[in-house]
Amino acid sequence: MSEELFKKLISHTKKYGFIFQSSEIYDGLSAVYDYGPNGVELKNNIKEYWWKSMVQLHDNIVGLDAAIFMHPSTWKASGHVDAFNDPLIDNKDSKKRYRADVLIEDHISGIEAKIEKEVSKAKKRFGDQFDEQKFRSEHPQVLKYTEQIEDINTRMNTAIASGQLNDLKTLIEELGIVDPVSGSRNWTDVRQFNLMFNTQLGNISGEEGKLYLRPETAQGIFVNFLNVQKTTRQKIPFGIAQIGKAFRNEIVARQFIFRMREFEQMEMQYFVKPGDEMNWYHYWKEHRMKWHLSLNADPEKLRFHDHDNLAHYANAAVDVQFAFPFGFKELEGIHSRTDFDLKNHQELSGKKLQYFDNDTNENFIPFVIETSIGVDRMFLSILSNAYHEEMVADASGGEAERVVLRIPAQLAPVKAAVLPLVKNKEELTDKAQEIFDKLKLFFNIQYDDKDTIGRRYRRQDAIGTPYCITVDFQSLEDNAVTVRERDSLEQVRMSIDELIPYLDKRTNMAYLLAELKG
């Protein structure tokens, strides 16, 4: 998807009530968004599919809804107070603040673009004869660019991993990176900036009353590990799943809902016996990829990417990346978190966080495999995969352009629309209303009798409604309706009595879950 299409997608989400800028009447709040009527339905369906695939499909995974505020010591133990930082740099002329690593990554993107330019020039020159793979691996200029990228990446990653912030500044200077706003090279030193938002507890002043808005939902799971294990009598291995808001004071706020300051996570911590963690890490890696593929994502748009720099808590980590409109980026993280969190909470709280194994009579701190996905990023991946502009036949025998969201039917905000062919015939609208009243007990559906039938189809296509049910004069005679399918545009005539099982088979999440279970 090009940048142009991405802009169209963003305005489409506003026009059709999926996403609005937060506090828009006050010119918005950067990197904070609200979900409109269609957006909240899609978001809820994504969450429901994730929840059911974790909690309902696995006997040994249970749910939790921990509070956003936690005891401040939580964030000391988890390492977030000391290590949840981004390296920042300011431009002294523009007074703008940037993430040093993002400035360098943008520079790398510039070199990548030069490679792509060489490739497309050669493609034009050689036509069908062009062997792209050979060109990429042999062309001297492309090789030079590739080497530059590797060198920059190595230097950046080493500087970040070792905390040598001066090296990051030297790299920025050597690469001649300028402030994108002012073009100036007048940079400050690089400093660490903690990403946690904080606030103050009502009746305690100063440091003691300092509270953080959680930057991940995971810690609510760790501190409740024994509460949940004991009350549900789970045996290891078992998991705890949670969906909830998280907050990060992101410096680089761009790419729409990809990087937000307030967002939602779906996280599952899987507690395993020490030594078994790598088996489970591979299990969850495959299982999560299967989940993404079950939602019709083009397999070419998904890939694994091993972390170059491991987070402070992990001994192995991989991202599921998705081809967002602005390139392959992290959609979900799968992390082997060792016993880092439980051990630190045990140490700082002085309360035992150990599991007693009845079979071996041993006490131990479990190791943890985490799967962590952002609801909003998942939302964006579904929408960017679904957005299509295409020409279709119109009622007059010509062609018309339509924008269609090919959202998987089980996740679509509205499952079907009931449309009387014309609105000024009471017999028809009564019949359509009767069908609507019956179906709405089972599905989220809409009734629409405004404008021509063609325009009503377009409106439903634009929000991804998989089925349109047209009630015509014949319906009054034969108790049948025409059902139009969104993607194929196929129309089938069926008895009104068949509608519920027909829609159920195609939109009920249970069938998606059955496929996932295999």
List contacts with ligand GAP (CB under 6 A). 216, 218, 248, 250, 259-260, 263, 265, 267, 330-333, 370, 372-374, 376-377
What is the nearest approach in angstroms of ligand GAP to the Cβ of residue 50?
A: 12
Alpha-helical (H) ranges within 86-139 are: 100-126, 132-138
Residue 5 tokens, joined: 């299409």
Q: Considering beta carbons, is residue 101 or 267 the nearer one to ligand GAP?
A: 267
Rounded CA separation 302/292 (Å) = 8
Q: Considering beta carbons, is residue 155 or 377 the nearer one to ligand GAP?
A: 377
Q: What are phi and psi of 333, to 5 degrees?
A: -115, 140
Q: Considering beta carbons, is residue 195 or 348 the nearer one to ligand GAP?
A: 195
What is the nearest approach in angstroms of ligand GAP to the Cβ of residue 333?
A: 4
Q: Considering beta carbons, is residue 341 or 448 the nearer one to ligand GAP?
A: 341
What is the nearest approach in angstroms of ligand GAP to the Cβ of residue 308?
A: 13
Q: Which residues pair with 305 in a beta bridge?
A: 319
Q: Considering beta carbons, is residue 319 or 461 the nearer one to ligand GAP?
A: 319
What is the nearest approach in angstroms of ligand GAP to the Cβ of residue 413?
A: 21
Q: Rg (Cα) of the chain, in Å, rounded? A: 27
Q: Considering beta carbons, is residue 334 or 421 the nearer one to ligand GAP?
A: 334
Q: Considering beta carbons, is residue 373 or 419 the nearer one to ligand GAP?
A: 373
Helix 37-51 and helix 509-517: axis angle, to 10°?
30
What is the nearest approach in angstroms of ligand GAP to the Cβ of residue 239?
A: 14
Counts of helices then strands in the chain (DSSP H, E): 18, 23
Residue partners of 470: CB distance under 8 A and separation at least 6: 419, 420, 421, 453, 481, 482, 483, 484
* Owner of token pair 């705890």: 240
Secondary structure class of 469 (helix, strand, coil):
strand
Q: Considering beta carbons, is residue 87 or 333 the nearer one to ligand GAP?
A: 333
Rounded CA separation 308/154 (Å) = 9
Residue partners of 19: CB distance under 8 A and separation at least 6: 13, 33, 34, 35, 36, 39, 256, 257
Residue 83 tokens, joined: 């290590």
What is the nearest approach in angstroms of ligand GAP to the Cβ of residue 502?
A: 35
Residue number with the shortest CB distance to ligand GAP? 374
What is the nearest approach in angstroms of ligand GAP to the Cβ of residue 382?
A: 13
* Closest among 414, 419, 408, 429 to 512, alpha carbons compared: 408
* Closest among 169, 175, 159, 163 to 189, alpha carbons compared: 169
Angle at 280 between CA 278 and CA 284, to 5 degrees: 120
What is the nearest approach in angstroms of ligand GAP to the Cβ of residue 486?
A: 28
- Give burial (CB, 10 Å; 0-12/13-18/19+) of 463: buried
- Give burial (CB, 10 Å; 0-12/13-18/19+) of 46: buried
What is the nearest approach in angstroms of ligand GAP to the Cβ of residue 334?
A: 9
Q: Considering beta carbons, is residue 311 or 400 the nearer one to ligand GAP?
A: 311
* C-alpha to C-alpha distances, 483 to 78, 467, 496, nearest whole angstrom: 54, 6, 10
Q: Considering beta carbons, is residue 295 or 428 the nearer one to ligand GAP?
A: 295
What is the nearest approach in angstroms of ligand GAP to the Cβ of residue 344?
A: 15
